[in-house]
Amino acid sequence: MTSNDLALLGGTPVIGAPLAPYNQIGPLERARVLEVMDSGVLSGFIAVDGPEFDGGPMVRELERQWCGHFGCRYAVTVNSATSGLYAAMGAIGLEPGDEVIVPPYTMSATAMAPLIYGGIPVFVDIEPETFCLDPAQVAAAITPRTRAILAVNLFGHPARLAELRALADARGLYLVEDNAQGPLAAEHGRQAGTVGHIGVFSLNRHKHVQTGEGGVCVTDDERLALRLRLIRNHGENLIEAFGVEDASGLVGFNYRLSELSAAVGLAQLERAGVIVSRREELAARLTAAVSGLEGLTPPAVRAGCRHVYYVWAARYDAGAVGVPRALFAQAMAAEGVPLGQGYVRPLYRLPPFQRRQAFGGGWPFSLSERRYPDGLAPVCERMHETELLSFAICSHQLEQDAIDRIADAFHKVHAARHRLAALAKGSQAA
């Protein structure tokens, strides 16, 4: 046995200890939180007409600074991006039976959001290079019932936002961006999250910058901003006070962010540029180090785009490598590098769609003829079943050296592909 032997076969792993979990919480966050503790006011919200309708000082300061960082007129914090997506669907006035075009390859909340208002998610396939919505297929899926396009900037790469916005404008639709994974991503100099009528960011513990749980909705539209604020904070009480004519969709929730969370968010926002640039550098280093390995295509960056790498997602060609994806991933895991095979299952395979049942009696699917069969989004299915091989670069605390070892592991396993191929064949024969 030498260190050249695959760890899977008893050799020494390239990385002997588990990768350290990502942690960017430090003295800045602590100091801000202590300010809140000393004030004794852990939330500033009350659902009445007055300044407290919009929360406490930390919440308002976070929203003010968010606008500055991301270049938008209004920022409305919420207690999660899931809440933000739900609020966005309410803000655009989604009604039962309205269709919302969504990609099937995203965190499940994206596709649940329309259902909350009785809307019907219409799944449209993704592009194989960036795993984001394919605008040509979006255009083809628009019907008289379509109300919105809900695009996801998946893994931190912007969808074709300018094109989708132009399409939405031409057809009288809303474009909403799920930018949970893409703070500071950009397309042609426009920040991801700010091209759509509403953009939704996540501050959950796994994301680039976090408050444990939290989220932010952004918009340049005053009317949408008001509706988001009303939905966040029991808006039914404030409809008259704000002189809102159309009360539809303004049954409010409690989506309020606490002062403690907002305090953490302010500290995180201060360092967001550094955190994200650092991750970009590490991702570029990994990409450069594994480029040229036959059968492995590192993440693409479309011309004019900034990719912020929530996930470093490569495409794997089992035919070219000669090793099934699962075995390659198993060998990498043995070397100390956990890789994801695919991402989530195509979302139309979730029970609400397969059983056409979200709320009692099959509603809202009873409002629609939509079916969700296998083969609905072939690119997504292919990515999920055979091609996508991902490294959760945002989940680990990484330095250049760790990136170099991860690249070494790719090279080591790739170099042993004939041995692995023989192994796979043997186990098939057995």
Say if residues 41 and 361 touch (Cβ distance below 8 Å).
Answer: no
Two structure tokens written together for 63: 């929203």
Output the CA–CA distances (angstroms, integers) from residue 243 to 222, 236, 429, in the order listed: 14, 12, 74
When the beta carbons of 109 and 329 are compared against ligand PLP, the nearer one is 109
- Which residues, in sequence order, are CB contacts of 133 under 8 Å at separation 6+? 101, 103, 124, 126, 127, 149, 151, 152, 159, 160, 164
Closest CA to 74 of 259, 198, 188, 251: 198
Give min distance, CB of 103 to ligand PLP, in A: 9
Give min distance, CB of 275 to ligand PLP, in A: 16
When the beta carbons of 108 and 400 are compared against ligand PLP, the nearer one is 108
Q: What are the residues binding ligand PLP (CB under 6 A)?
A: 80-82, 106-107, 109-110, 152, 178, 180-181, 202, 204, 215
When the beta carbons of 82 and 261 are compared against ligand PLP, the nearer one is 82
C-alpha angle 416-421-426 in degrees, rounded to nearest 5 = 130
Give min distance, CB of 384 to ligand PLP, in A: 15
When the beta carbons of 107 and 250 are compared against ligand PLP, the nearer one is 107
When the beta carbons of 106 and 368 are compared against ligand PLP, the nearer one is 106
Name the strand (E) or helix (H) holding 307: none
Give min distance, CB of 80 to ligand PLP, in A: 3
Two structure tokens written together for 428: 């098939």
When the beta carbons of 264 and 402 are compared against ligand PLP, the nearer one is 264
**Distance of alpha carbon 260 from alpha carbon 43, whole angstroms:** 8
Q: Would the CA dihedral through 66, 68, 72, 76 be positive or negative?
A: positive
When the beta carbons of 181 and 297 are compared against ligand PLP, the nearer one is 181
Give min distance, CB of 21 to ligand PLP, in A: 17
Backbone angles phi, psi at 120, to 5 degrees: -110, 115
Give min distance, CB of 110 to ligand PLP, in A: 5
Say if residues 273 and 391 touch (Cβ distance below 8 Å).
Answer: no
Give min distance, CB of 126 to ligand PLP, in A: 13
Say if residues 131 and 313 touch (Cβ distance below 8 Å).
Answer: yes
When the beta carbons of 101 and 152 are compared against ligand PLP, the nearer one is 152
- Which residues, in sequence order, are CB contacts of 303 under 8 Å at separation 6+? none
Give min distance, CB of 207 to ligand PLP, in A: 6
Two structure tokens written together for 257: 């962010």
Give min distance, CB of 172 to ligand PLP, in A: 26
When the beta carbons of 111 and 416 are compared against ligand PLP, the nearer one is 111
The reply to whether omega before 324 is within 30° of 0 (cis) is no
**Distance of alpha carbon 364 from alpha carbon 373, whole angstroms:** 18
When the beta carbons of 22 and 328 are compared against ligand PLP, the nearer one is 22
Query: Regarding beta strands 174-178 and 120-123, do their DSSP bridges make them parallel or antiparallel, or are they unpaired?
Result: unpaired
Two structure tokens written together for 254: 């409690």
**Distance of alpha carbon 258 from alpha carbon 225, whole angstroms:** 19
| Range list of β-strands (E), 182-335 | 186-187, 190-191, 198-202, 215-219, 296-297, 305-306, 312-316
When the beta carbons of 79 and 368 are compared against ligand PLP, the nearer one is 79
Instruction: Give residue 66's identity as a one-letter amino acid code.
Output: W
Two structure tokens written together for 375: 């083969």
Two structure tokens written together for 172: 């009288």
Give min distance, CB of 210 to ligand PLP, in A: 9
Give min distance, CB of 178 to ligand PLP, in A: 5
